[in-house]
């Protein structure tokens, strides 16, 4: 269980960092254009969920180490899993909206 939790956090941080770096390299300025502001807001929202997922994974891992997670007491695992799935879908939606849709709509694909 701990390896899965560490892997989830590592993947979340890696994906968020890669997207943040790509948008930073694009030179978007949140205070200058609406698209930059929308991008910054969506990335901040994704970053918030990465931090919350980190906290939830740490909490679940500590509960697991303390022997408080088993087949009957598994709500912390289920809650963490649910947030992980939401974060993945939200991250994919952010990539589609921020990166793929503008290219497809402009014909530059």
Yes or no: say if 53 and 84 are a contact pair by the CB < 8 Å rule.
Answer: yes
pLDDT mean values, one per 10 residues, the chain (109 residues): 82 88 84 87 92 92 89 90 91 86 72
Predicted local confidence at residue 83, as pLDDT = 92
Output the pLDDT for position 5.
Answer: 83
pTM score, whole prediction: 0.79
How far is the C-alpha of 25 from the C-alpha of 40, rounded, in Å? 13
Give Cβ neighbours of residue 11 (< 8 Å, ≥ 6 apart): none
**What pLDDT sits at residue 100?**
82
Domain boundaries, position 72: 2-106
Q: In the prediction, which pLDDT does 108 show?
A: 61
How many domains are contained in the chain? Answer: 1
């Amino acid at each position: 269980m701990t390896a899965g939790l560490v892997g989830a956090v590592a993947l979340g941080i890696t994906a968020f960092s890669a997207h943040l770096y790509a948008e930073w390299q694009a030179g978007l300025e949140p205070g200058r254009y609406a698209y930059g502001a929308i991008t910054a807001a969506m990335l901040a929202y994704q970053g918030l969920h990465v931090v919350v997922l980190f906290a939830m994974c740490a909490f679940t891992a500590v509960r697991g180490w303390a022997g408080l997670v088993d087949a009957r007491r598994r709500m912390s695992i289920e809650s963490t899993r649910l947030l992980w799935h939401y974060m993945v879908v939200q991250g994919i939606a952010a990539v589609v909206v921020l990166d793929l849709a503008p290219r497809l709509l402009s014909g530059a694909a």
